[in-house]
Amino acid sequence: MRSKRGAPWIGALVGLALTAGPSRAADAAPTSRPPSPSDSCAAQTFEGARFTVCRYARGAQTLRLALDGPHGPLGGFGALARRLGPDADRLAFAMNAGMYEADQSPAGLLILDGNTAHPADTGTGDGNFYLTPNGVFAVDADGAPRVEETHAFLAHPGAVRWATQSGPLLVEHGALHPRLAPDGASKNIRNGVGVPGPDEALFVISDDPVSLGRFARFFRDVLKCPDALHFDGHVSALWAPGLKRRDPAKGLGPLVVVLRGPD
């Protein structure tokens, strides 16, 4: 979440450095394989921190973004379950998907089923959202996911069905964000998304407080994602029925929902 522009953020800004983090050499090997479409989510560790990794597989699963229900912003997983109705039985996982304002409106671009629900924010301000480059996670009409720098995405958006803007862009074309400290003092439960290829996206939530620098290296060095985007910190939450987990989050903004099977 973020507050209105210029005010302090709930997700505190990570410590900054003028140089990038450590080299690509992995500091630790993954303790388990990335999840398959059958198990959806699995635990991994990196540099002593625990993470849960959930996989969207194009063609085998359906991805949607959601914000509002019949009475305003969904805000959490209970309201999402009611909105899904019978589709709740198909849920592979859901998590918060991008920063938002105090009234739960999106902080930046939000495209829902091909319609722009909120315009992009290309301005300047304080906090992680404005720690440029920031970026957009999008899913095209054919189900292909991608993460792109905001201006590059807006220049050539293509046939987008779902999209959410957030920041910072943790990894861009295999390079770590140039202003992230290797392991800054600001540590939070964080979540984000990385795209290792055109047929899958990996959604991650840290189960221990981590810095943005460590989070970025996990995407690049362990999950092998050349592009990855930070969604949020402090408010990050996951609903994963296969893990018997539904975090009691309230007041959330946009949500990503992945269902088993194609629509």
Comparing 27-31, 49-53, 56-60, which segment has the lowest mean pLDDT? 27-31
Before 254, cis peptide (omega within 30)? no
Classify residue 194: in a domain, yes or no: yes
Beta bridge partners of 257: 64, 94
Classify residue 101: in a domain, yes or no: yes
Classify residue 214: in a domain, yes or no: yes
Classify residue 27: in a domain, yes or no: no
CA distance 146 to 255: 17
- In our burial notation (b when 16+ CB lie closer than 10 A, e otherwise), range 79-104 reads bbbebbeebbebbbbbbbbbbbeeeb
Total domains in the fold of the chain: 1
Q: Which domain holds residue 114?
A: 41-260
What's the token pair of residue 248? 């009691």
Q: What is the pTM of this model?
A: 0.88
What pLDDT, in 10s, does the model give residues 117-140?
999 999 999 999 999 999 999 999
The answer, yes or no, to whether residue 11 has pLDDT greater than 70, is no
What pLDDT, in 10s, does the model give residues 52-81?
999 999 999 999 999 999 999 999 999 999
Classify residue 212: in a domain, yes or no: yes
Classify residue 241: in a domain, yes or no: yes
CA distance 90 to 51: 23
Classify residue 59: in a domain, yes or no: yes
Beta bridge partners of 135: 149, 166
Half-sphere CA count of 150, side-chain side, radius 13 A: 24
